[in-house]
């Protein structure tokens, strides 16, 4: 019941946006994701590198580098990860000031197939955040991914597919130090895109994501390459 109450507070926390960020400017995120399973092992590695801009190019929003060790329990298709991320965040506009964050995270990926063509993945992630000039913070995230092949029956070579996701972020605490507070609701991201499968281990996506926080909402183009090797 407590978890449900926190969720409802977060959803109702979608409030009016302010003008600190120019919401009319579409940003762009350039992303590389990798995943590797060790031979004859339940362990592997995964991670990503993301260069995010407030505009198309040049106004740094974030540089995010993340990697983790994965584990697949026997007789399951669940992927568990323990990882680390380093994040550099820039300010919106002409300023060049940046702030840093180190982050530990644990996540579970649960794939699911619905019918013959709908591929779902549920991602649950818990983060421990060490943000510059703030107290220790935590955050809960849930992402629902959906991929639907268009010209092929499965996500096979030469398949085009529609891609969708929605991710909700909930802060673990509202006090971040020095009498500063944040809302329990942190942000929500909704994405729609088109992907192409070069081969079972390589695919590319182009899409548009809308991100809403308690302070602002903004559109972002996303260019991503997904690499399993």
Question: Hey, what domains does the chain have and what are their CATH numbers?
Answer: 2-228 (2.40.160.40)
Give the pLDDT of residue 37: 96
Give the pLDDT of residue 24: 83
**What is the spatial distance between Cα 228 and Cα 173, in angstroms, rounded to a whole number?**
36
Give the pLDDT of residue 68: 98
Give the pLDDT of residue 93: 83
Give the pLDDT of residue 65: 98
Give the pLDDT of residue 5: 44
Cα–Cα distance list, 116 to 21, 112, 204 (Å)? 42, 11, 22
Where the chain has pLDDT below 50, the residues are 2-19
Give the pLDDT of residue 11: 38
Q: What is the DSSP string of 108-177?
A: EEEEEEETTTEEEEEEEEEEEEEETTS--EEEEEEEEEEEEESSSSSS-TT-EEEEEEEEEEEES-SEEE
Residues 6+ apart with CB under 8 A from 96: 90
What percent of the chain is predicted at pLDDT more than 90?
86
122-150 pLDDT per residue, tens: 999 999 999 999 999 999 999 999 999 99
Q: What pTM, to 2 d.p., does this model score?
A: 0.88
Give the pLDDT of residue 64: 98
Give the pLDDT of residue 14: 33
**What is the spatial distance between Cα 193 and Cα 203, in angstroms, rounded to a whole number?**
13
Give the pLDDT of residue 25: 87
59-69 pLDDT per residue, tens: 999 999 999 99
């Amino acid at each position: 019941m407590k978890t449900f109450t926190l969720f409802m507070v977060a959803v109702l926390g979608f409030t009016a946006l302010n003008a600190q960020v120019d919401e009319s400017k579409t940003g762009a995120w350039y992303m590389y994701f990798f995943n590797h399973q060790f031979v004859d092992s339940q362990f592997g590695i995964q991670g990503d590198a993301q260069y995010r801009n407030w505009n198309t190019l040049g106004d740094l929003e974030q540089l995010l580098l993340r990697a983790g060790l994965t584990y697949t329990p026997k007789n399951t298709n669940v992927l568990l990860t323990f990882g680390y991320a380093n994040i550099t965040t820039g300010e919106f506009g002409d300023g060049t000031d940046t702030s840093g964050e180190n982050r530990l995270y644990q996540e579970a990926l649960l794939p699911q197939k619905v019918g013959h063509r709908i591929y779902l993945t549920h991602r649950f992630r818990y983060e421990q955040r060490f943000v510059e000039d703030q107290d220790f913070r935590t955050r809960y995230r849930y992402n629902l991914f959906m991929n639907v092949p268009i010209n092929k029956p499965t996500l096979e070579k030469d398949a085009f597919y529609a891609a969708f996701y929605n991710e909700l972020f909930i802060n673990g605490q509202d006090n971040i130090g020095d009498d500063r507070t944040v809302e329990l609701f942190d942000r929500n991201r909704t994405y729609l895109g088109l992907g192409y499968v070069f081969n079972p281990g390589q695919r590319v996506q182009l899409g548009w994501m809308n991100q809403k926080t308690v302070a602002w909402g903004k559109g972002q183009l996303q260019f991503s390459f997904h690499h399993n090797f």
